[in-house]
C-alpha cells in the first residue's frame, strides 16, 4: 500500500535495528544528562527569569511558574525525551513514524535553529570580548576616562556629590554601547554600518570551538559538556557567596522575593510564567529529540526528565539571588531603591548593570573574569544543543548522502551560521539581534511545539505513545501525564500563542524605536519557519495517491485519515 498522509492506529513501529542502522551512543549516562542540563540552562536563566520574577509579583510569581512547569513544561520535556529515545532519529525523519503530514514541523524546527544561531552566538561573542577586556588592572568600564566616553558619562557609584540627570550615562553603559557595539556609528536598521572586526574575530573563535566540539558527534560534545555544563555552577556559587557579603544585599533579596499577591489576578503574569517555563526547558527546538536519540533503548528517560527539568528550574531561582544581591548592593551604594537599578532586562542586565557592580567590588578583575567565563560556557552549551538538533535531523533524513561525512556537513553548517551572523556584527548589529530574538524564535516555536503535541497525542494516539513508553521503561505513563499531553499542555500553549499575538508592545532598544517596516519584516521571519508546516501538508495531500480515507483493517470499514491516531 502507498504511504498515506497519516498512519492509523495499528501497532507502533519498531525502533531501528542497530545492526542495520548503526548509531552513535553516549559514552556515559552523565554525558547525556549534562548535555540536556547544559542546553536547558542558558543565558536566559540568568537574565530573563530574575527580571520576569520581580516584574510579576516577586515571590508570588513562583506560584504560576510552578504550576506552568508541572502541567506544561515538564510533561512536554518528558514527551520529547521519550519520542527521541524510542524512535532514535532526528526532528525531520521522526514524522515518517508518527504522522507524515506533519513532517513540516521538522523543517520548521531546523529553520528556527538557524535563526537562533544567527544571533545567540553573537551574544556569546560579546561576552568573549568582555572576558578579554577583563584582563586588566582596572576594568575599562570602571571610569569615564576613556576615549570612547562622552560628556554625559557620569560615575556616581557610591558618590553623594554627583548629580544624575536623564542625559547621564554610566561608564558601564558607554563601554557596552560605544566601545563594544559602537552603536553610535549606526543610524538604525536602515543604516547598520560596517562590521566590527573585533567582534568578527570573537565570533570566529566561538564557532571554531563549536565546530571542534560537534564534528565527531556525541563522543566529543559529551566530553566538552563536563566543563561547560559544570563550570557555571561553580561560578554561580562563588558569585552568590560574594553577593551575599556585600552591603545592601538583603535589600535585593527582599525585593526579589517580596510577594505581590495582586499580580496573580493579571492574565499577563500567567502568560509570562508559561512562556518562561517553555522557553527555559526548551521543548520544540528538536534538541531533546536529538540528544535522547543517542540513548540506549531502555534508558529511564522518565527519571531523566524529572531530574534535569528540576535542575533547570532551581538554577533559574538560584540565579535570581546571584543577580539581586548585587542589585541590592548597587541600590545601597547609590542610595536609591532597588527598583531604580533593576530596570534593565535582557543582555543589558548582563553587560551593563552587573558589570557596573563588579567594577566597584574589591577584586573586580577576578570577578569579571569568572562572570564572563560563566556566560561563555552557558551560551556554548545551548549552542551545542541547538546545532546538534539541526545536524541530527538533516543527517538522519539524508543518510545515503551524508553518512560518513559528518565533519564536512558540520563545517558547512557552521559556515552558514557564521555568514548568517555577519549582520549582527555591524555597528547596528544589536538592533538585528533584538529583532531576531523577538521574532526568530518567539511565537513560531510555541506554535510548533503546540502542533507537535497535538500530532503526537491526537494523531499518533496517546495509547500508542504510552505503549512505546512501556516498551522502553516497563511501565505505562500515569493518568496525569496523559491528561497533560492530550489537553492541558496544548491548552496552555494555545493560550500563550494567542495572548502573544494579541499583545504586541512597541519594540525598542536603548533610545531606538523600531520602525513599522521592521516589525513587518520580523513577522515574515517568524512566518518563514512556521509556513513549512502547512506547505508540507498540502504537498503530502497532493502527491500521496489514494483517497483521504485509508483502510485500517482487512475489512471494508474505513476511518477518516484526520482521526487516524484517535481510533
The verdict on whether residue 528 carries a ligand-binding annotation is: no
**pTM of the full structure:** 0.89
Domains of the chain as residue ranges with CATH:
29-566 (1.20.1740.10)
| Distance between CA atoms of residues 419 and 435, nearest Å | 17
| Distance between CA atoms of residues 111 and 90, nearest Å | 14
Mean pLDDT within 140-153: 90
pLDDT at 54 exceeding the cut of 90: no
pLDDT at 160 exceeding the cut of 80: no
Percent of the chain with pLDDT over 90: 50
The verdict on whether residue 382 carries a ligand-binding annotation is: yes
φ/ψ (deg, to 5) at 535: -65, -45
Q: Are 43 and 350 in contact (CB under 8 A)?
A: yes
Digit-coded pLDDT (tens) for 334-365: 777 888 776 666 678 889 888 988 988 888 89
Q: Three-state DSSP class for 559?
A: strand
Mean pLDDT within 179-199: 92
- Top pLDDT among 444 and 335 is at 444
The verdict on whether residue 300 carries a ligand-binding annotation is: no
Mean pLDDT within 308-333: 88
Digit-coded pLDDT (tens) for 220-250: 888 898 998 899 999 999 999 999 998 989 9
Tell me the β-bridge partners of 195: 426
- Top pLDDT among 563 and 262 is at 262
pLDDT at 559 exceeding the cut of 60: no
| Distance between CA atoms of residues 438 and 552, nearest Å | 44
Tell me the β-bridge partners of 232: none
Q: Which residue has the cell 538522519?
A: 396
The verdict on whether residue 41 carries a ligand-binding annotation is: yes
Digit-coded pLDDT (tens) for 382-432: 999 999 999 999 999 998 888 888 999 999 999 999 999 999 999 999 999
Average pLDDT over all residues of the chain: 86
pLDDT at 548 exceeding the cut of 70: no
The verdict on whether residue 121 carries a ligand-binding annotation is: no
- Count of helix runs (H) and strand runs (E) in the chain: 27, 4
Amino acid at each position: 500500500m502507498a504511504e498515506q498522509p497519516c498512519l492509523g492506529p495499528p501497532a507502533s513501529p519498531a525502533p531501528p535495528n542497530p545492526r542495520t542502522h548503526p548509531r552513535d551512543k553516549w559514552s556515559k549516562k552523565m554525558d547525556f544528562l549534562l548535555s540536556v542540563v547544559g542546553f536547558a540552562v542558558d543565558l536566559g536563566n540568568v537574565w530573563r527569569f530574575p527580571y520576569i520574577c520581580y516584574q510579576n509579583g516577586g515571590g508570588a510569581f513562583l506560584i504560576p511558574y510552578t504550576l506552568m512547569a508541572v502541567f506544561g513544561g515538564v510533561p512536554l520535556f518528558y514527551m520529547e525525551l521519550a519520542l527521541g529515545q524510542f524512535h532514535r532519529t532526528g526532528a525531520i525523519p521522526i514524522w515518517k513514524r508518527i504522522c507524515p503530514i506533519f513532517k513540516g514541523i521538522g523543517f520548521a524546527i531546523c529553520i528556527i535553529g538557524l535563526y537562533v544561531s544567527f544571533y545567540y552566538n553573537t551574544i556569546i561573542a560579546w561576552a568573549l570580548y568582555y572576558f578579554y577586556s577583563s584582563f586588566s588592572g582596572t576594568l575599562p568600564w570602571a571610569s569615564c576616562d576613556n576615549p570612547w566616553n562622552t560628556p554625559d558619562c557620569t560615575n556616581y557609584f557610591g558618590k553623594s556629590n554627583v548629580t544624575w540627570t536623564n542625559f547621564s550615562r554610566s561608564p558601564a553603559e558607554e563601554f557596552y554601547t560605544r566601545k563594544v557595539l559602537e552603536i553610535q556609528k549606526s543610524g538604525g536598521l536602515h543604516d547598520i554600518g560596517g562590521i566590527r572586526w573585533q567582534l568578527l574575530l570573537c565570533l570566529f573563535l566561538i564557532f571554531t570551538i563549536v565546530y571542534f566540539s560537534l564534528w565527531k558527534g556525541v563522543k566529543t560534545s559529551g566530553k566538552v559538556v563536563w566543563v561547560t555544563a559544570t563550570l557555571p555552577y561553580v561560578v554561580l556559587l562563588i558569585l552568590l557567596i560574594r553577593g551575599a557579603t556585600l552591603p545592601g544585599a538583603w535589600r535585593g533579596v527582599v525585593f526579589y522575593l517580596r510577594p505581590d499577591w495582586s499580580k496573580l489576578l493579571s492574565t499577563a503574569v500567567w502568560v509570562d510564567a508559561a512562556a518562561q517555563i517553555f522557553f527555559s526547558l526548551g521543548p520544540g527546538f528538536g534538541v531533546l529529540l536529538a540528544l535522547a536519540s543517542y540513548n540506549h533503548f531502555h534508558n529511564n528517560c522518565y527519571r531523566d526528565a524529572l531530574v534535569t527539568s528540576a535542575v533547570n528550574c532551581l538554577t533559574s531561582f538560584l540565579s535570581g539571588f546571584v543577580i539581586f544581591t548585587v542589585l541590592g548592593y548597587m541600590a545601597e551604594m547609590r542610595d536609591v531603591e532597588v527598583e531604580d537599578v533593576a530596570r534593565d532586562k535582557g543582555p543589558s542586565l548582563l553587560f551593563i548593570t552587573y558589570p557596573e557592580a563588579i567594577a566597584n567590588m574589591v577584586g573586580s578583575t577576578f570577578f569579571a573574569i569568572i562572570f564572563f567565563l560563566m556566560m561563555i560556557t552557558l551560551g556554548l552549551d545551548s549552542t551545542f544543543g541547538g546545532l546538534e538538533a539541526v545536524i541530527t535531523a538533516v543527517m538522519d533524513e539524508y543518510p545515503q548522502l551524508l553518512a560518513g561525512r559528518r565533519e564536512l556537513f558540520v563545517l558547512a553548517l557552521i559556515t552558514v551560521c557564521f555568514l548568517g551572523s555577519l549582520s549582527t556584527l555591524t555597528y547596528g548589529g544589536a538592533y538585528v539581534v533584538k529583532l531576531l530574538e523577538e521574532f526568530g524564535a518567539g511565537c513560531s516555536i510555541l506554535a510548533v511545539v503546540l502542533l507537535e503535541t497535538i500530532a503526537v497525542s491526537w494523531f499518533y494516539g496517546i495509547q500508542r505513545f504510552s505503549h512505546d513508553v512501556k516498551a522502553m521503561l516497563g511501565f505505562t505513563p500515569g493518568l496525569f501525564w496523559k491528561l497533560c499531553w492530550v489537553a492541558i499542555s496544548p491548552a496552555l500553549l494555545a493560550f500563550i500563542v494567542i495572548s502573544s499575538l494579541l499583545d504586541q508592545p512597541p519594540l525598542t532598544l536603548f533610545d531606538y524605536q523600531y520602525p513599522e517596516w521592521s516589525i513587518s519584516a520580523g513577522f515574515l521571519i517568524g512566518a518563514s519557519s512556521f509556513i513549512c508546516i502547512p506547505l508540507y501538508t498540502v504537498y503530502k495531500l497532493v502527491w500521496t495517491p489514494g483517497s483521504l480515507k485509508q483502510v485500517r483493517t482487512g475489512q471494508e470499514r474505513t476511518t477518516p485519515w484526520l482521526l487516524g491516531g484517535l481510533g
